A and B are shown apart, each in its own frame.
Chain A
Amino acid sequence: MRGISVKGSSLWSEVSSSRYFGVLVGLVGLILLLSLTQPTFLTVANWQEIARSQSVAWLLALGSTYVILTVGIDLSIASQVAVAGMAFGLTLNAGVNIWLALLVALASGLLMGFVNGYFIGIARISFFVVTLATLSIYQSIALLSTNAQTISLFTNESFLRMSDLINGLVGPVPIVFVFVVVLYVLGAFVLGRTRFGRSVYAVGSNVEAARLSGIPTRWIYVSVYTISGLTCGLASLVAVGRLSAASPIADPNLTLAIVAAVLIGGVAFTGGDGKLFGTFLGVLFLGLIQNGISLVGISSFWQGLVSGLILLVAVGLGVLRDHEWVRRLSSRRLPRSIDESADDILLKEAT
Chain B
Amino acid sequence: MDNFGSELFTARDITKTYPGVVALSGVDVQVHTGEIRALVGENGSGKSTLAKVLYGGTVPERGEVVFSGEPLEFGSPARSLRRGIVAISQELSLSPELTVTENVLMGQLPTRLGAVDWRRAHERTYEALSDLGLSIEPRARVGELSIELQQGVEICRALSRDASLIILDEATSSLSKHAADLLLSRVVERAAQGTSILLITHRMGEVREIAHTATILRDGHLIRTAPLDQVSDDDILQMMVGREVRNIYGTRGRNIGEVILRLEDFGAQDGSFLPLSLELRSGEIVGVAGLVGCGKSELALAVAGAIPVEGSVTVEGEVVELGEVRRAIKSGIAMVPEERKRQGLLPARDVLENVSLPWKSVGVSAGIVDRRSQEVVARELGDRLNLKARSLASNIYTLSGGNQQKVLLARWLPLAPRVLVLVEPTRGVDVGAKHAIYEIIRELANDGIAILLISSELPEVLGMSDRILVMFEGRITASLDGESATEQNVAEWVLGRGVA
For the complex, give the distance between the alpha carbons of A345 and B25 in Å.
13
Query: Chain B residues with Cβ under 8 A from A323's Cβ?
Result: none
**Set A324, A334, A348: member contacting B398, Cβ < 8 A:** A348
Q: How far is the CB of B275 from chain A (nearest CB, A)?
A: 23
Q: Are B353 and A198 in contact (CB under 8 A)?
A: yes
Query: Chain A residues with Cβ under 8 A from B391's Cβ?
Result: 4-8
Query: Chain B residues with Cβ under 8 A from A213's Cβ?
Result: 325, 329, 357-358, 411
| Residue B246 lies at the interface, judged by CB distance under 8 Å to chain A | no
Q: Are B219 and A342 in contact (CB under 8 A)?
A: yes
For the complex, give the distance between the alpha carbons of A273 and B17 in Å.
27
| CB proximity to B under 8 Å, residues A300-351 | 324, 327-328, 330-331, 334, 336, 338, 342-343, 345-351
| Residue B494 lies at the interface, judged by CB distance under 8 Å to chain A | no
For the complex, give the distance between the alpha carbons of A334 and B17 in Å.
10
Q: Are B329 and A214 in contact (CB under 8 A)?
A: yes
Query: Chain A residues with Cβ under 8 A from B379's Cβ?
Result: 3-4, 6
| Residue B395 lies at the interface, judged by CB distance under 8 Å to chain A | yes
Q: How far is the CB of B405 from chain A (nearest CB, A)?
A: 13
Listed stretches A30-38, A82-90, A189-197; interface member: A189-197
| CB proximity to A under 8 Å, residues B344-364 | 344-349, 351, 353, 356-358, 360, 364
**Set A1, A193, A194, A345: member contacting B44, Cβ < 8 A:** A345
Q: Are A7 and B393 in contact (CB under 8 A)?
A: yes
Q: How far is the CB of B269 from chain A (nearest CB, A)?
A: 17
**Set A6, A212, A324, A346: member contacting B400, Cβ < 8 A:** A346
Query: Chain B residues with Cβ under 8 A from A214's Cβ?
Result: 325-326, 328-330, 358, 360
| Residue A136 lies at the interface, judged by CB distance under 8 Å to chain B | no
For the complex, give the distance between the alpha carbons of A216 and B358 in Å.
11
| Residue A266 lies at the interface, judged by CB distance under 8 Å to chain B | no
For the complex, give the distance between the alpha carbons of A166 and B351 in Å.
44
Query: Chain A residues with Cβ under 8 A from B347's Cβ?
Result: 205-206, 272
Q: Are B19 and A331 in contact (CB under 8 A)?
A: yes
Interface CB pairs A-B, < 8 A, 13:
A4-B389, A5-B392, A7-B391, A195-B360, A195-B369, A202-B349, A210-B346, A213-B329, A268-B348, A331-B18, A331-B20, A346-B400, A349-B21
For the complex, give the distance between the alpha carbons of A1 and B337 in Å.
26
Q: Are A3 and B19 in contact (CB under 8 A)?
A: no
Chain B 43-74: CB-based contact to A (< 8 A → 1; otherwise 0): 11000000000000011000000000000000
Q: Are A195 and B220 in contact (CB under 8 A)?
A: no
**Set A206, A334, A345: member contacting B220, Cβ < 8 A:** A345
Q: How far is the CB of B388 from chain A (nearest CB, A)?
A: 5
| Residue A15 lies at the interface, judged by CB distance under 8 Å to chain B | no
Known contacts A201-B349, A212-B304, A330 near B375 by CB under 8 Å = no
Query: Chain B residues with Cβ under 8 A from A342's Cβ?
Result: 42, 44, 218-219, 242
For the complex, give the distance between the alpha carbons of A343 and B242 in Å.
13
Nearest-CB residue, chain A, relative to B21 = A348
For the complex, give the distance between the alpha carbons of A243 and B407 in Å.
54
Q: Are A212 and B375 in contact (CB under 8 A)?
A: no
| Residue B377 lies at the interface, judged by CB distance under 8 Å to chain A | no
Q: How far is the CB of B243 from chain A (nearest CB, A)?
A: 10
| Residue B397 lies at the interface, judged by CB distance under 8 Å to chain A | yes
Extra contacts, 5 of them, besides A7-B391, A209-B357 (Cβ < 8 A), are A197-B369, A201-B346, A206-B345, A209-B342, A212-B344
Q: List the 8 closest A-B pairs by CB distance, nearest first.
A: A349-B20, A213-B358, A205-B346, A214-B329, A273-B348, A213-B357, A346-B400, A331-B19
Query: Chain A residues with Cβ under 8 A from B394's Cβ?
Result: 347, 349-350
Q: Are B19 and A272 in contact (CB under 8 A)?
A: no
Q: Are A350 and B395 in contact (CB under 8 A)?
A: yes
Q: Are B345 and A209 in contact (CB under 8 A)?
A: yes
Nearest-CB residue, chain B, relative to A203 = B346
Q: How far is the CB of B55 from chain A (nearest CB, A)?
A: 15
| Residue B147 lies at the interface, judged by CB distance under 8 Å to chain A | no
Q: How far is the CB of B407 from chain A (nearest CB, A)?
A: 11
| Residue A155 lies at the interface, judged by CB distance under 8 Å to chain B | no
**Set B18, B42, B390: member contacting A327, Cβ < 8 A:** B18
Known contacts A205-B346, A208-B343, A330-B19, A4 near B368 by CB under 8 Å = no
Q: Are A345 and B22 in contact (CB under 8 A)?
A: yes
Query: Chain A residues with Cβ under 8 A from B411's Cβ?
Result: 213
From B20, B337, B369, name the one whose CB has the most chain A CB atoms within 10 angstroms: B20
Query: Chain A residues with Cβ under 8 A from B356's Cβ?
Result: 198
Query: Chain B residues with Cβ under 8 A from A147's Cβ?
Result: none
Q: How far is the CB of B461 from chain A (nearest CB, A)?
A: 23
**Set A206, A336, A347: member contacting B388, Cβ < 8 A:** A347
Q: How far is the CB of A1 from chain B (nearest CB, A)?
A: 5
| Residue B403 lies at the interface, judged by CB distance under 8 Å to chain A | yes
Query: Chain A residues with Cβ under 8 A from B42's Cβ?
Result: 342
| Residue A211 lies at the interface, judged by CB distance under 8 Å to chain B | yes
Q: How far is the CB of B111 from chain A (nearest CB, A)?
A: 37
For the complex, give the distance between the alpha carbons of A310 and B295 in Å.
51
Known contacts A202-B349, A206-B347, A212-B337, A345 near B367 by CB under 8 Å = no
Query: Chain A residues with Cβ under 8 A from B330's Cβ?
Result: 214
Query: Chain A residues with Cβ under 8 A from B21's Cβ?
Result: 336, 345, 347-349
Q: Are B306 and A1 in contact (CB under 8 A)?
A: no
Chain A 271-303: CB-based contact to B (< 8 A → 1; otherwise 0): 011000000000000000000000000000000
Query: Chain B residues with Cβ under 8 A from A43's Cβ?
Result: none
| Residue B166 lies at the interface, judged by CB distance under 8 Å to chain A | no
Query: Chain B residues with Cβ under 8 A from A211's Cβ?
Result: 306, 325
| Residue A10 lies at the interface, judged by CB distance under 8 Å to chain B | no
Known contacts A205-B348, A214-B329, A324 near B58 by CB under 8 Å = yes
| Residue A98 lies at the interface, judged by CB distance under 8 Å to chain B | no
